[in-house]
A and B are shown apart, each in its own frame.
Chain A
Amino acid sequence: QSALTQPASVSGSPGQSITISCTGTSSDVGSYDLVSWYQQHPGKAPKVIIYEVNKRPSGVSNRFAGSKSGNTASLTISGLQAEDEADYYCCSYAGHNTVLFGGGTKLTVL
């Protein structure tokens, strides 16, 4: 199974909104609402920011929002802040007892 497809990089200015896509197939993203998003700052462990497509863990800013349409999931970050600069990974259950991550997207806050 191949990794989920994410853009390698996205950028935005402070205060703007950006969206990161995560494209899978009908066997993974398209079949299950088990899509999550992880934020990873350099040298740090990942942190879950969205789970089950659009749910936010306690303590995660409501500037982060998740959605899904067909085989593509999306993460939208509104009101960009400097601290949002990080790598972002989508993750989906892929059936047959396996999990797939996306290749990761580097967000640069200009």
Chain B
Amino acid sequence: EVQVAEAGGGLIQPGGSLRLSCAASGFTVSLNYMSWVRQAPGKGLEWVSIISSSGSTHYADSVRGRFTISRDTAKNTLYLQMNSLRAEDTAVYYCARDRSGWGNYMDVWGKGTTVTVSS
């Protein structure tokens, strides 16, 4: 079965760091575009970052310079390293397979992992 599962969320103080992971099964992460999308409590979806099959990475303005997307081919896992966290980063973070890139066809989503940034 094709699926992804996020992990690594939790409660973190402002200014802290957290690394999210997204373990994939049934497909190869490195052969696909993979995206992170977040959803603040009661709010809409917000695209965060993408990594292409070639390894190029791109970020939303709101997280550029603080977040880093990466992948581990051997573990078939996607990551999101989040530094200098702010209250406004509080959200459910989803990873998704992005079949045609650029948010156009995100067909496999996890259940999400919750990040709460608060003192």
Contacts and interface: CB of A to CB of B under 8 A. Distances in A.
A40 B111 CA distance: 12
Contacts of B79: none
B44 to A, nearest CB: 4
B103 A91 contact: yes
Contact of A3 (B44, B105, B107): B44
Interface in A68-87: 87
A15 interface: no
A45 interface: yes
B27 to A, nearest CB: 15
Contacts of A57: 105, 107
Chain A residues touching B, majority SS: strand
Interface residues of A, number: 27
Given A3-B44, A89-B44, A97-B58, A46 B105 contact: no
Most buried by A among B45, B100, B109: B45
A34 B44 contact: no
B103 A99 contact: yes
Interface string B27-44: 000000001010000001
Contacts of B105: 36, 48, 51-52, 57
B104 A34 contact: yes
A26 B2 CA distance: 36
B110 interface: yes
9 contacts: A36-B104, A40-B45, A45-B111, A46-B109, A48-B107, A91-B104, A93-B103, A99-B102, A101-B37
Given A34-B100, A52-B105, A97-B50, 18 more contacts: A1-B61, A34-B102, A36-B103, A36-B106, A38-B45, A45-B109, A45-B111, A45-B112, A48-B106, A48-B107, A52-B100, A52-B104, A57-B105, A87-B44, A89-B44, A89-B45, A91-B45, A91-B103
Interface of A: 1, 3, 34-36, 38, 40, 45-48, 51-52, 57, 87, 89, 91-93, 97-104
